[in-house]
Amino acid sequence: MPLPFALDHVNVWLIGNATDDLMIVDTGIDSAATCDLWQQLLSATGRTPGHLLITHYHPDHIGLASWFQSQHAQLPVTMSQLEFDQAKAAFEATDEEFAGAQAAWYREHGMPDDLLHKMAAEGNSYRQIVAGLPQVDNIVKAGDSLTAGGYKWQVITGGGHAPEQITLYSEAINVLIAADQILPRITPNISLNWYKNRLDPLADFLGSFANYDSLPADALVLPSHGLPFTGLHERLGQLRDHHDERLDRLRQSIQKPVTAHQLLPLLFQRELDPRQMMFAMGECLAHLRYLENQGEIMATTSGGIIRYQTN
Ligand SMILES: [Zn+2]
């Protein structure tokens, strides 16, 4: 499904066999273009959605869940509890609450006023591309399993990118639906942000890799962005190396107190639009929090501004 961002698409999955209704995994954002595509797609298959599973709360995954339920009465929706809670908090925040909390958070991490004003003008950017909150009938957690397409799928959850993201593995066909937890070319955004409910998202993310250790090396991985691939364990190794390298760069550059905003050029050597700036700040702060929790750096606040420094 198309996305109007630098990352221009999200993958959705339809799982079915000759007899079952389809299980749909993720929806795309709420836009007229995405609704049109879904209608074309479902009429081309001649199939009815029997079940919708939302991997995590981000708009490109949950955006049309409530629209699906308005089109297909009684369509059951499955999520994890923390993802639903996060979606609810983000969706229900007023423009003022959303923008205010966001601005306060970025201001104390050193973002200049002109950028803060641009962000505040956007209001609740989450609700702009999410149609509504779905009625969730089925809450799943790690270790549960479900059936789709005649196959059993094991629920494996992972934190870091989102609090309790659902990924699905079917041993019968050796396929892992990895959502945004494991992506082939780009690295999933790992952000510490003003929701403050994820205290050490990078530790959560790296810790989640153990959940995939026992899967076969030749599993076919279906990511939410980019093409399906094999080489699960190599990719996890590359993701680990990427974060290790960023942590090293930060360690070497925080001899004197600096704000997260001042450290951005060290991690991102390109122009950032406001949306990318939000991801970049979150990513930088996630790495700083990780080093802080490891006891390698400390944060000090003066004049309402938080700065980081090696111990
Ligand atoms: Zn995501």
**Tens digits of residue pLDDT in 154-194:** 999 999 999 999 999 999 999 999 999 999 999 999 999 88
- The strand order across the sheet containing 145-148 reads 145-148, 151-158, 165-170, 175-179, 220-223
pLDDT of residue 6: 86
Which of 158, 172, 185, 176 is closest to 221 using CA atoms?
176
pTM of the model: 0.95
Mean pLDDT over 250-269 rounds to 93
Q: Cα(307) to centroid of ligand 1, in Å?
A: 28
Q: Cα(305) to centroid of ligand 1, in Å?
A: 29
Q: Cα(162) to centroid of ligand 1, in Å?
A: 7
Mean pLDDT over 205-227 rounds to 98
Kindly list the domain boundaries of the chain, sorted by start residue: 13-252
Phi first, then psi: what are they for 43, rounded to 5°?
Answer: -75, -30
Q: Cα(180) to centroid of ligand 1, in Å?
A: 5
**Beta-carbon count within 10 A of 167 CB:** 27
The CATH code for residues 13-252 is: 3.60.15.10
| pLDDT at residue 21 tops 90 | no
- Residues 97-135 as b/e (b if ≥16 CB within 10 A, e otherwise) read ebbeebbebbbbbbbeeebbeebbeebbbbbebbbbbbe
User: CA neighbours within 13 Å on the CB side: how many for 147?
Assistant: 6
| pLDDT at residue 122 tops 90 | no
